Structure 1
């Protein structure tokens, strides 16, 4: 009986030590406030006065390997902030939505969108997946053609307050 109790006690001690060691080994991914390795807060830069890209741009496109149509609404504000909404419509199936916010820049014939939040959650701003570059193929006051990582988007200017259709 004493031998069984000794083995059980020893097992409990080893288990407790293992749990304590695991607790000490867990490292937080969040840097301490003010830590040198903390990512810098991204500041959006205002667009140049009269930038013709400022506005709401809506387009519908298809993407290879994706069944259905993607309805895209890009809001480019004069203060340098942006929102990107994408809605996948597939017949009678429920729509799937993506909503991103962040900053934008207009560099010659390139539009750069940097996502800071995706579906309301902060993203890793240094991850290249959250920075998208679109070549502006053509632009008028009412239409813009963007060539981007997922293909071409022909967008038209929409009024303030426009929302994606359901």
Structure 2
């Protein structure tokens, strides 16, 4: 992945975002919304860091890539509990992105750069089945796995250099 990330410092960074005041609402982000936390993390780390928001689903058979989250602490306004929860989501999201990046590199070395269109199509054809399998394994084919699969395949197609 091209965006540097230190997982050891993630909890401190997330704490700072959770405790910060949301410029849109004037309230502490942790007491406002998941969306404001996602925006804050994207502002801190880059746009990749906001993607966890749409991958969080607290039902075990949902088919999302983030499966195990600590309690939110929202009812009690416990900012530290919220920071642990958001850090868990961020770390799981980053692990998924790194897993996909590794799969892309194995399935299409060089990402299709400088390859002719026919070779890119062959890279795609060889890559689709392993990526679908990876998504199914990661999401356990729960109810929302199709969206995760479509996203992963779309990213792979972008990586190979041809439009979808």
TM-score (norm 1): 0.21
Higher-Rg member (1/2): 1
Greater RCO, CA 8 A, separation 6+: 2
Bigger proportion of residues as helix: 2
TM-score (norm 2): 0.21
